[in-house]
Amino acid sequence: MKKTKWVVWSGVAVLVLALGYLAASHLSGGALYAFGLPLGGDRGELRRLAFSFWEDIQFKDFDAAASYHEPDRIAEVDIPYLIERLFLQKPEWLDITDIEVMMVDVDSSGDRGRVRTQMRVHDLTNDEWRDQEVMLYFYREGPGSPWYMELETSLRDIKAEDGKIH
- Same domain assignment for residues 2 and 45: no
- pLDDT per residue as tens digits for the range 57-110: 999 999 999 999 999 988 888 899 989 988 989 999 999 999 999 999 999 999
Chain centroid to Cα 64, Å, comes to 14
- Same domain assignment for residues 120 and 150: yes
C-beta separation of 116 from 102 below 8 A? yes
- Same domain assignment for residues 46 and 125: yes
- pLDDT per residue as tens digits for the range 139-161: 999 888 999 998 765 555 556 56
pTM of the model: 0.73
- Same domain assignment for residues 1 and 50: no
Which residue from 127, 106, 122, 118 is spatially nearest to 43, judged by alpha carbons?
106
Domain membership of residue 162 (yes or no) is: no
